[in-house]
């Protein structure tokens, strides 16, 4: 069995590649990092280390890599693949769509065999969005065939894999916890048996529970921690104010999720506690600027901060902790991050209100604006105190 996986980065090697290899797939990674591609092709294996006592390791063998620029080679691999997965980042999905479309076209010209393409990105509706981009590159007749033979099931993936700094360029250190949930109602053909993958008929509760808990909490810690001059997530978790704010935000999203999906508050509370524990793992040493990366994406209307805040308000709740994190995300001034630089330039040129509206989609005069403004004042007191 062959799996073609786009993105041989942290989650690609440290999570998706590892699970697929255990399930018996040969893996062809597709990446645009030429050095990484060469190293994978030379060694045909890599190590995954667990960030826990003793740092146990496993070896992922039977891997190769294709340079993403070589569209013909990528298309050839997709033509014979049994599964396609991605972990490249939501903003990159449009850039890999052409190669996937070329692969689908080639495949359908040779044989009609079902294929599922699973985007493993931190976003709602990732595979559906990828499908839209791929279809832009398909002729009408191939689109009609693809509708029958190619599935784009949405997925939720959860495993913290920080930036890697090892002498061994392929080694990847990961936390022990992982969760990979796939929407089986959007799949074609036989459902593949992959240990560690949970198939569900309706992904919405799972992806929202994950995005609005793990990723919301992480974002709160990262943006507040940055304001307080901290470097890593576990360092920030040693500050009581940050822990309180994170708990507060997760109470807000928890109340929303319970109201929307009927989650048992006690069971959800245990889920939250487990996640708070994951953030404190000192062996992960997860950089705040990694977790805070791409603040425009993270501030967008349906993402982890503004998404739940707007929905909380529709239900009559007051999302002040989410408001504090939104204010901190706007204040995230890290020039090496292109999106942070764009926000800071916008704040200077267009002012706070316009930048808030443009980045978040919060309409002018919406009551959430007032909450964020109030929290921005509170944030100034916080920042002044460190
Ligand atoms: N790191 C983590 O803990 C988790 C990450 N995710 C999601 O997984 C995705 C990837 O994140 P990471 O692995 O952390 O990022 P990463 O930066 O470590 O890996 C992304 C990889 O994609 C490659 N890439 C970029 N453009 C490409 C293109 N056009 N074609 C092929 N490859 C390309 C990069 O060279 C890089 O190797 C993101 O959507 C992230 O939200 C989800 C859960 C956990
Ligand atoms: O990968 P993103 O969406 O930029 O956000 C970082 C988040 O993703 C993760 O890497 C994995 O879920 C978390 O560590 C963090 O919440």
pLDDT digit string, tens, across residues 315-373: 999 999 999 999 999 999 999 999 999 999 999 999 999 999 999 999 999 999 999 99
226 shares a domain with 182: no
Q: Identify the CATH number of the domain in which residue 56 sits.
A: 3.40.50.720
174 shares a domain with 214: no
Where in the sequence is the domain holding 198, given as residue range(s)? 2-202
209 shares a domain with 183: no
181 shares a domain with 232: no
179 shares a domain with 56: yes
288 shares a domain with 187: no
Give the pLDDT confidence score for residue 284 in this predicted structure.
Answer: 87
Report which ligand 2 atom has the smallest distance to the Cα of 290.
6
Give the pLDDT confidence score for residue 124 in this predicted structure.
Answer: 93
**3-class DSSP state of 120:** coil
Nearest ligand atom owner, CA of 219: 2
Total count of domains within the chain? 2
Give the pLDDT confidence score for residue 382 in this predicted structure.
Answer: 82
pLDDT tens digits along 282-326 = 898 899 999 999 999 999 999 999 999 999 999 999 999 999 999
The residue out of 147, 177, 202 marking a domain boundary is 202
Residue 383 has pLDDT above 90, yes or no: no
Report which ligand 2 atom has the smallest distance to the Cα of 158.
12
233 shares a domain with 194: no
Residue 235 has pLDDT above 80, yes or no: yes
Ligand 1 pocket member 162 (CB < 6 A)? no
Q: Identify the CATH number of the domain in which residue 240 sits.
A: 1.10.1040.10
Q: Is 13 annotated as a binding residue?
A: yes
Q: Is 10 annotated as a binding residue?
A: yes
Nearest ligand atom owner, CA of 300: 2
Residue 137 has pLDDT above 80, yes or no: yes
246 shares a domain with 189: no
Nearest 10 degrees: Cα torsion 285, 289, 290, 293: 160
Please state the pTM of the whole predicted model. Answer: 0.94
Q: How many helices (H) and strands (E) does the chain have?
A: 18, 12
376 shares a domain with 254: yes
Residue reference for tokens 């080679």: 73
126 shares a domain with 7: yes
The residue out of 186, 202, 218 marking a domain boundary is 202
* Rounded distance between C-alpha atoms, residue 301 and residue 304, angstroms: 9
Give the pLDDT confidence score for residue 385 in this predicted structure.
Answer: 64
């Amino acid at each position: 069995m062959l799996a073609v996986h786009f993105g041989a980065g942290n989650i690609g090697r440290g999570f998706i590649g590892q699970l697929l290899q255990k399930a018996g797939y040969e893996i062809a990674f597709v990446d645009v990092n030429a050095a990484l591609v060469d190293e994978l092709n030379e060694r045909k294996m890599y190590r995954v280390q667990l960030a826990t006592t003793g740092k146990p390791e496993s070896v992922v063998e039977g891997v190769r890599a294709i340079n993403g620029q070589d569209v013909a080679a990528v298309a050839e691999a997709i033509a014979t693949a049994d599964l396609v997965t991605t972990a490249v980042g939501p903003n990159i999905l449009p850039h890999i769509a052409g190669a996937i479309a070329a692969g689908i076209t080639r495949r359908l010209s040779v044989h009609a065999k079902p294929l599922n393409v699973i985007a493993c990105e931190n976003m709602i509706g990732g595979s559906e969005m990828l499908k839209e981009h791929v279809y832009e590159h398909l002729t009408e007749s191939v689109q009609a065939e693809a509708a029958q033979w190619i599935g784009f099931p949405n997925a939720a993936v959860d495993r913290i894999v920080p930036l890697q700094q090892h002498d061994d360029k392929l080694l990847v250190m990961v936390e022990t916890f992982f969760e990979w949930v796939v929407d089986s109602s959007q799949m074609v053909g036989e459902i593949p048996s992959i240990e560690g993958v949970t198939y569900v008929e309706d992904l919405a509760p799972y992806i929202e529970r994950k995005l609005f808990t793990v990723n919301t909490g992480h974002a709160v810690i990262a943006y507040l921690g940055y304001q307080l001059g901290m470097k890593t997530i576990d360092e920030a978790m040693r500050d009581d104010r940050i822990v309180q704010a994170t708990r507060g935000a997760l109470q807000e999203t928890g109340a929303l999720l319970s109201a929307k999906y009927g989650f048992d508050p006690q069971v959800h509370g245990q889920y939250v506690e487990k996640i708070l524990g994951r953030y404190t793992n000192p062996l992960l040493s997860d950089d705040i600027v990694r977790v805070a990366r791409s603040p425009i994406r993270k501030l967008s209307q349906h993402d982890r901060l503004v998404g739940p805040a707007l929905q909380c308000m529709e239900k009559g709740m007051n999302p002040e902790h989410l408001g504090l994190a939104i204010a901190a995300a706007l204040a995230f001034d890290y020039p090496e991050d292109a999106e942070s630089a764009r926000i800071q330039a916008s704040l200077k040129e267009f002012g706070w209100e316009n930048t808030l509206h443009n980045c978040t989609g919060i309409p002018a005069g919406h009551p959430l604006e007032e909450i964020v403004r109030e929290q921005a004042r509170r944030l100034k007191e916080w920042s002044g105190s460190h």
